């Protein structure tokens, strides 16, 4: 989708989109078009009894006086509670409505848009961003697309104040990161496996990111028995990828983002049931979010030092696969009794977290993982689950979630949860007892984080994949986490 900005008069064709507020004040664009069409907009509002509630459309097709396009009024609700996220939703809803209409250009006439504490340029940029976010499609494997399903719409033209174009630039880069994550999450596991994932990470070099890839022999040498145990039943060799963006002060400790990248999770010998197993292609959603966030940060040249580390494995049942009851030794030296091979994400993160701390000495570590089904029981698809002992860090992450719409809810993490993973024969076991499965998983990860590090674990099992469309996210890979991490870095680490 091409996005352009203009301060010139509205064009004569295409779909012209005009936001309308409940307060009754009509924008210049509204008055202009209403005049040119001999009052068609006023008449349509009256005839339809139209109330401009948030997201409510009124479409006036081909009114005399403005060529053969259409005018699309969209409700914006009350000015006093219109937010940047509302602006994004507005843009997204318009694209959802027009994408497979016959219109080629969506012209947003935004001179009337206003909100508390956000300047008009930024607001217009957020409309464009939301529109672009909703335009995403993953069509690469379709050889047949019905004509009615083909998007004719290829351009978004935003007419607004002068500041909008510049305000859009960072959002465009962040959007590129979101799209990268959606692509990764959407790819089937026969295409995206540890090595091919690592190769896609290498593309970030073009953005100025330094990329390191560790293979199985190197990880063996480092003693990563926990991560390697998960991958040993697969034909696809495991990988560990580190992506460095050092845009901050030289010598400043980096923020570390660590992601679970299980490119397919069958459960291993503790095999998952068949129905729905296909969903486990997106069990690399944490790694996908970290990769997209690194692309976003590098793309907008963030003034911060950030390193993204992802553990890439495929969890398969096989003659070589690890068994329930096996004991493995992690890079940290701690031993783990594997009681369920389906609790594999934590095993991957254990070594990825430890390696990250040894190599980069970060003061802040955030890990993201589609870690437990239990987090869906608690939070469904509304929030990612956040586990941390650091109240200040919790506050920063919650704020980043609220600002971007990648929402988080804090979950408990206590000594009792840690007690749940005591093993009879090793330092710990990889599952807890009954209940609190997301918290005992977090406690497991906590054993691989040094006391001096400020750490949060984000369980995004309910967020990586959208079962249905939302205003700015079409059904499928959501890209959750990219905007959250970008905003977290921007607000707290860029001076």
Which DSSP state fits 252?
P
Contacts to ligand BES from residues 409-468, by CB under 6 A: 431, 437, 461
Q: Does residue 283 interact with ligand BES by CB under 6 A?
A: yes
d(C-alpha 351, C-alpha 240), whole Å? 10
Of the residues 346, 447, 483, 490, only one is catalytic, namely: 346
Of the residues 54, 137, 155, 272, only one is catalytic, namely: 272
Question: Residue 173 catalytic?
Answer: no
Point out which residues pair with 382 in neighbouring strands: none
Nearer residue to Mn ion within complex by CB, 86 or 265: 265
**Sequence-separated (6 or more) residues with CB below 8 Å from residue 348:** 226, 227, 230, 260, 261, 262, 311, 313
Nearer residue to Mn ion within complex by CB, 122 or 265: 265
| Beta strand pairing call for 454-459 and 384-388 | antiparallel
Among residues 350, 493, 470, 480, the alpha carbon closest in space to that of 55 is found at: 470
Provide φ and ψ at 26, rounded to 5°.
Answer: -105, 140
Q: Does residue 342 interact with ligand BES by CB under 6 A?
A: yes
Contacts to Zn ion from residues 99-158, by CB under 5 A: none
State the number of binding residues for Zn ion (CB under 5 A).
4
Nearer residue to Zn ion within complex by CB, 88 or 265: 265
d(C-alpha 482, C-alpha 294), whole Å? 8
Site string for Zn ion, 263-282 (x = CB under 5 A): --x-----------------
Please give the distance of CA 40 from its chain centroid, rounded to a whole number. 41
SS3 166: helix
Shortest distance, position 461 Cβ to Zn ion, whole Å: 8
Element of type H or E holding 28:
helix 28-36
Q: Determine the residue with CB nearest ligand BES.
A: 373
Contacts to ligand BES from residues 66-95, by CB under 6 A: none
For ligand BES, the binding residue among 263, 364, 372, 404 (CB under 6 A) is: 372
Nearer residue to ligand BES within complex by CB, 340 or 466: 340
The stretch near ligand BES (CB under 6 A) out of 62-70, 134-142, 338-346, 397-405 is 338-346
DSSP structure string for 343-406: --HHHHHHHHHHHHHHHH--SEEEEEE---THHHHHHTTT-EEEEES-HHHHHHHHHHHHHHS-
Site string for Zn ion, 332-351 (x = CB under 5 A): -------------x------
Site string for Mn ion, 339-368 (x = CB under 5 A): ---x-x------------------------
For ligand BES, the binding residue among 88, 122, 265, 486 (CB under 6 A) is: 265
Shortest distance, position 295 Cβ to ligand BES, whole Å: 24
d(C-alpha 28, C-alpha 368), whole Å? 46
Nearer residue to Mn ion within complex by CB, 266 or 330: 266
Which DSSP state fits 271?
P
The stretch near Mn ion (CB under 5 A) out of 154-162, 264-272, 469-477, 481-489 is 264-272
d(C-alpha 142, C-alpha 191), whole Å? 15
Residues that bind Mn ion (CB under 5 A): 265, 342, 344
List active site positions: 272, 346
């Amino acid at each position: 989708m091409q996005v352009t900005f203009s301060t010139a008069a509205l064009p004569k064709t295409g779909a012209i989109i005009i936001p309308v507020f409940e307060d009754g004040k009509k924008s210049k664009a509204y008055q202009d078009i209403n005049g040119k069409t001999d009052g068609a907009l006023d008449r349509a509002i009256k005839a339809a009894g139209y109330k401009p509630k948030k997201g409510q459309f009124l479409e006036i097709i081909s009114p005399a006086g403005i060529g053969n396009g259409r005018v699309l009024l969209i409700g914006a609700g009350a000015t006093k509670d219109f937010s940047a996220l509302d602006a994004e939703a507005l843009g997204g809803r318009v694209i959802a409505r027009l994408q497979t209409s016959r219109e080629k250009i969506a012209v947003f006439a935004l001179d009337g848009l206003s909100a508390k504490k956000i300047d008009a340029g930024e607001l217009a940029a957020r409309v464009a961003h939301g529109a672009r976010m909703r335009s995403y499609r993953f069509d690469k494997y379709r050889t047949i697309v019905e004509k009615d399903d083909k998007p004719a719409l290829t351009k978004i033209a935003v007419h607004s104040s002068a500041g909008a174009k510049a305000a859009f630039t960072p959002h465009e880069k962040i959007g590129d990161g979101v799209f990268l994550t959606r692509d990764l999450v959407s790819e089937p596991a026969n295409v995206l496996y540890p090595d091919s994932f690592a190769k896609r990470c290498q593309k970030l070099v073009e953005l100025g990111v330094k990329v390191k890839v560790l293979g199985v022999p190197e990880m063996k040498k480092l003693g990563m028995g926990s991560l390697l145990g998960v991958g040993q039943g697969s034909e696809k060799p495991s990988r560990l990828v580190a992506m460095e963006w050092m845009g901050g002060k030289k010598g400043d400790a980096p923020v570390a983002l660590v992601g679970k990248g299980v490119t397919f999770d069958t459960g291993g010998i503790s095999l998952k049931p068949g129905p729905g197993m296909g969903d486990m292609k997106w069990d690399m959603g944490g790694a996908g979010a970290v990769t997209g966030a690194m692309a976003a940060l590098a793309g907008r040249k963030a003034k911060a030092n950030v390193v993204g580390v992802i553990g890439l494995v495929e969890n398969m049942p096989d003659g070589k696969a690890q068994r329930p009851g096996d004991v493995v030794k992690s890079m940290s030296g701690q031993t783990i009794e594997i009681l369920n091979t389906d609790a594999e994400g934590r095993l991957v993160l254990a070594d990825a977290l430890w390696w990250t701390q040894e190599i980069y000495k970060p003061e802040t570590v955030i890990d993201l993982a589609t870690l437990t089904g239990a987090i869906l029981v608690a939070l469904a698809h509304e929030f990612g689950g956040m586990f941390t002992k650091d109240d200040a860090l919790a506050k920063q992450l919650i704020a980043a979630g609220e600002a971007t719409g990648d929402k988080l809810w804090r979950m408990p993490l206590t000594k009792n949860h840690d007690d749940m993973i005591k093993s009879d024969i090793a330092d710990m076991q990889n599952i807890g007892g009954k209940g609190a499965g997301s918290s005992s998983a977090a406690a497991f990860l906590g054993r691989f984080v040094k006391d001096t590090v400020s750490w949060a674990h984000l369980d995004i099992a309910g967020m990586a994949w959208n079962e249905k469309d939302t205003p700015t996210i079409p059904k499928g890979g959501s890209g959750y986490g990219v905007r959250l991490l970008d905003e977290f870095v921007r607000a707290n680490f860029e001076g």
